[in-house]
Structure 1
Amino acid sequence: MNIKSLLLGSAAALAVVSGAQAADAIVAAEPEPMEYVRVCDAFGTGYFYIPGTETCLKIGGEVRATVSFDESSAEDWDSNVRARLSFEAKNDSELGTVGSYIRLQAVQGAEADINDDLDSVEVEQAYITVGGFLVGRDLTWVDDWGLAGESDGFFGNAYFNTISYTYTSDAFTVGLGVDDLSDEFVGNEVGVQGTLSAAFGPASLAAYAVYDFGSEEGGIAGVLSADIGPGTLGIAAGWASGQSVGYDFASEWTVGAAYTFKATEKLSITPQVMYYDSVDFTAADAWAADIYVEYQLAQGLKASADLGYRDQDGVDDNWNGFVRLTRSF
C-alpha cells in the first residue's frame, strides 16, 4: 500500500467517524423564561398571583407585645406576646369567587396560661368561602359587637365551627349562620345567629341575634355609631333571656357609650363607660369605664395604652390597664 492510498483511507475513516459523532451530538435546550410574580388587583391590595395559576394569594401577620396590670390578679404586672400569620387565597370560578382563609396564632405569657394554650401554635381560623357562603372555623359576627374602648363585653364566646351565608350590598349587609356548640356541651348542640348592618351617610347601625338550642336561651345586641365633631360616637346595648352555655352572656343586659376623639391624624383618644345589670345573671350590677389611647408611630406600627376601672356589687373595685406595641403587615 502506497502513501497516497493510506492517506485517502485515513481521510475517509475520519469522515465516517465525524459524521457519526455529529449525528449523536446533544444540543442543549433553551432555558424556559422565568415567570415573575404578578400583582393581582382583582380582590383588593396585597394580593399576587401564585406562579402558574390564576389564584391570588395574600399573606399578612401581626406581632403584639403587651405589658399589663390588674388589681384582681395575684401578680402586680405581667407581659404577653401574641403572633399571628394569615394566608388568604381567592380565584374566580363558575360558582363565583372561591376563597380560603387560614390564620395561625401563638401566644406566650399570661393570656396563654389563661387559655391553656401552653405557648403553642394553633390554627385559630380556617374556612372556605364560595360567593356569600362560609364553612369552617371562624370568629363569628358577634365578635364584632362592641365599642372602641376596652371595658365592654357581652358575648363571651364567638369562636365556633360554623356555616353561614352573607348578602352584602352597597347600603346594607344581612347574614344567617348555624354554629356547632358541641365544644361547650356534653352532647351535640347547635346555635343560630344572624346579623344586619346598614350605613346612612355618616352613621351606621349593626344588630346581632343568637339562640342557643342547648340552653334554650337567646340574646340580641346592637351598635349605633356616627361621626360627630372631630370624632366618632358609639352607643352599644345588649339583652339576653338567660345564660347561654354556648354564647356565654356577661349579664342580663348592658348599655354603654364611647367617643373616639381624633386629636391628630395619628393620635386618637377614646373614653368609654359601660353599665351591666345582673352580672352573670346574679343580683350584682356593675359599671366600668376606661380611656384608650392609640398612636400610629409609622405605617404598620402603632402604640396603645389603656387605663380601666370596674365597680361591681359584692366585689372589690378594680383598676387595670396595659401598654402595647403592635406591628402588622
Structure 2
Amino acid sequence: MNIKSLLIGSAAALAVVSGAQAADAIVAAEPEPMEYVRVCDAFGTGYFYIPGTETCLKIGGEIRASVYFADPDFVNDDNADDNGPWESEVRARVTIEAKNDSEIGTIGSYIRLQGYGDLDYSDSSGAFSLDQAYITVGGFKVGYALAFWDDVGISGENDAFTNDTKFNLMSYTYSSDAFTVGLGIDDLSPSYLDNNVGVEAMVSASLGAATVSLYGVYDFEAEEGAIAGILSADVGPGTFELYGAYASDVSVYANVAEWTVGAAYGFKATDKLTITPSVNYWSDVGFVDGDAWGAGILAEYALAEGLTAAATVDYFDADGADDVWTGFVRLTRSF
C-alpha cells in the first residue's frame, strides 16, 4: 500500500466516524421565557401585576393585640358582665385589592377577612369571617361595605352616636379636587323581619386647611332619620375636630342618644408621637331623659414603619349611674 492510498483510507474512516457522531448529537432545548412579577404604580404603592394580565393586585393586613381595662367598681356591677378588671384581645385582618383600567373606568374589588383569637371576649369562635367585600366601577360601589355613616365621629375612643354602619349596599361617590358628594342605598333587612332599606347622603368640601363634611341617613322602616356635621382643621402643630349629630328617634343608624357634640385635638408632639385629648356630650341618652358626658386622652407612637403602640384612658359619667374609667394598651402591626 502506498502513501497515497493510506491517506485516502484514513480520511474516509474519519468521515464515517464524524457522521455517526453528528447523527447521535443531543441538542439542548431553549428555556421557556419567564415572566417576572412587575410592579404596578398606576394605583398607588404596594400593587403588582398578576402575571399574564393587566390586573394589579395588592395584599395587606393587620394584627392588633390589645389589653382592655375598666374600673373594677363598674365591671362588678350587677348589670355588667363580671369578667374582672381587664380583658385581652387579638384581632387579625387580611385584605386583598385588585384593580384594572377598562373602557368603563377603573374596575376594583376589595376583600377583607377578620378574625379574633379563640375564646377572645370579642369573638368566642376564633374563626375568620368576611368583614367586607365589594366591587367598584368608577365611582360606583356595590357589595358588603362600610357606609358613609361610618365616618361620623372624631378621633379618640369615647365618641359614640352611630349604630350599624356596615350593610349590603350600593352607592355612588363623585370627587373633585375640593368637593366630594355621595349617595347610597342600604339593605336593612337583617335588622327587621321584612325587607327594608335605608338611604344615606354625604357632602364634603376642603377649604384650604379646613374640611367640612355633612351626613344624612333615613330608615324607611322606623321612619326616622339622623344628620351629622364634622369640621376638621389644621391648627398649630395638630388637627382640631368638632362634630355634632342629631337623630329624630331610634333607627338602625342611631340608637345612642337624641343628639351629641364632641371635640378633639390631635397634637403632633413629635414626628412619631401623637396625643389626642377629646371630650363628648350626649343629650337624652337612649332617647329618654338623662344626659351624659365623657372625656379621654389617646396616645399613639410609631415604633417603626408599620408598627404602632397606643394607649388610652377614658372617663364616662351619665345621669343616674356611676362614673366609669376605661382604657386600653395596644400594639398594631400593619402591612
Query: In the alignment, residue 172 of structure 2 is paired with which amino acid?
Result: Y
Unaligned runs of 5+ in 2: 1-12, 76-81
Query: In the alignment, residue 195 of structure 2 is paired with which amino acid?
Result: N
1:172 and 1:257 map into 2 onto residues whose CA distance is 23
**1:136-165 deviation per Cα after TM superposition (whole angstroms, max 9, x unaligned):** 000111111111111101111101000000
- Which one is further off, 119-128 or 140-149? 140-149
Q: Does the Cα contact within 8 Å between 1:89 and 1:100 map onto a contact in 2?
A: yes
Q: Does the Cα contact within 8 Å between 1:80 and 1:109 map onto a contact in 2?
A: no
Q: Which residue of structure 2 aligns with residue 322 of structure 1?
A: 328
Query: In the alignment, residue 317 of structure 2 is paired with which amino acid?
Result: D
Percentage of pairs with the same residue: 60
Query: In the alignment, residue 106 of structure 1 is paired with which amino acid?
Result: G
* Structure 1 counterpart SS, 2:255: coil
CA drift of 1:44 comes to 0.9
Q: Which residue of structure 1 aligns with residue 9 of structure 2?
A: none
* Structure 2 counterpart SS, 1:142: helix
Q: Which residue of structure 2 aligns with residue 39 of structure 1?
A: 39
Q: Which residue of structure 2 aligns with residue 212 of structure 1?
A: 219
1:117-128 map, 5 Å? 118-128=125-135
Q: Which residue of structure 2 aligns with residue 262 of structure 1?
A: 268
Query: In the alignment, residue 199 of structure 1 is paired with which amino acid?
Result: S
Q: Does 1:174 align with 2:181?
A: yes
Q: Which residue of structure 2 aligns with residue 251 of structure 1?
A: 257
Q: Does the Cα contact within 8 Å between 1:64 and 1:327 map onto a contact in 2?
A: yes
**1:230-256 deviation per Cα after TM superposition (whole angstroms, max 9, x unaligned):** 111100110011110x21331100001
Q: Does the Cα contact within 8 Å between 1:222 and 1:236 map onto a contact in 2?
A: yes
* Structure 1 counterpart SS, 2:218: strand
Q: Which residue of structure 2 aligns with residue 83 of structure 1?
A: 92
**1:65-110 deviation per Cα after TM superposition (whole angstroms, max 9, x unaligned):** 0001123332210000010010000000011000000001011278
Q: Which residue of structure 2 aligns with residue 95 of structure 1?
A: 104
Q: Which residue of structure 2 aligns with residue 3 of structure 1?
A: none
* Structure 1 counterpart SS, 2:157: coil
Q: Which residue of structure 1 aligns with residue 284 of structure 2?
A: 278
**1:183-237 deviation per Cα after TM superposition (whole angstroms, max 9, x unaligned):** 1111111000111111011100111110000100000011101111111110011
Q: Does the Cα contact within 8 Å between 1:79 and 1:109 map onto a contact in 2?
A: no
Q: Does the Cα contact within 8 Å between 1:37 and 1:48 map onto a contact in 2?
A: yes
Query: In the alignment, residue 53 of structure 1 is paired with which amino acid?
Result: T
1:45-64 map, 5 Å? 45-64=45-64
1:216-227 map, 5 Å? 216-227=223-234
Q: Does the Cα contact within 8 Å between 2:68 and 2:327 map onto a contact in 1?
A: yes
- Which one is further off, 220-229 or 116-125? 116-125
CA drift of 1:29 comes to 3.6
Q: Does 1:196 align with 2:203?
A: yes
Q: Which residue of structure 1 aligns with residue 115 of structure 2?
A: 106
1:191 and 1:51 map into 2 onto residues whose CA distance is 41
1:267 and 1:78 map into 2 onto residues whose CA distance is 26
Q: Does 1:70 align with 2:63?
A: no
Q: 1:187 is matched with which residue: 186, 194, 198?
A: 194
1:319 and 1:303 map into 2 onto residues whose CA distance is 21
Query: In the alignment, residue 236 of structure 1 is paired with which amino acid?
Result: Y
Query: In the alignment, residue 47 of structure 1 is paired with which amino acid?
Result: Y
Query: In the alignment, residue 269 of structure 1 is paired with which amino acid?
Result: I
CA drift of 1:317 comes to 0.7
* Structure 1 counterpart SS, 2:190: helix
Q: Which residue of structure 1 aligns with residue 247 of structure 2?
A: 240
Change (3 A) 1:304 1:251: same
Q: Does the Cα contact within 8 Å between 1:62 and 1:83 map onto a contact in 2?
A: yes
**1:117-149 deviation per Cα after TM superposition (whole angstroms, max 9, x unaligned):** 622100100000001100000011111111111
2:136 and 2:269 map into 1 onto residues whose CA distance is 39
Query: In the alignment, residue 146 of structure 1 is paired with which amino acid?
Result: G
Q: Which residue of structure 2 aligns with residue 161 of structure 1?
A: 168
CA drift of 1:280 comes to 1.2
CA drift of 1:45 comes to 1.0
* Structure 2 counterpart SS, 1:96: coil
CA drift of 1:26 comes to 8.1
Query: In the alignment, residue 174 of structure 1 is paired with which amino acid?
Result: V
Taking structure 2 as the reference length, what is the TM-score of the superposition? Answer: 0.88
* Structure 1 counterpart SS, 2:149: helix
Taking structure 1 as the reference length, what is the TM-score of the superposition? Answer: 0.90
| Count of equivalent residues | 311
2:62 and 2:139 map into 1 onto residues whose CA distance is 27
1:247 and 1:218 map into 2 onto residues whose CA distance is 8
Q: Does 1:313 align with 2:319?
A: yes
Q: Does the Cα contact within 8 Å between 2:226 and 2:254 map onto a contact in 1?
A: no
Alignment RMSD: 2.0
* Structure 2 counterpart SS, 1:183: helix
2:225 and 2:26 map into 1 onto residues whose CA distance is 77
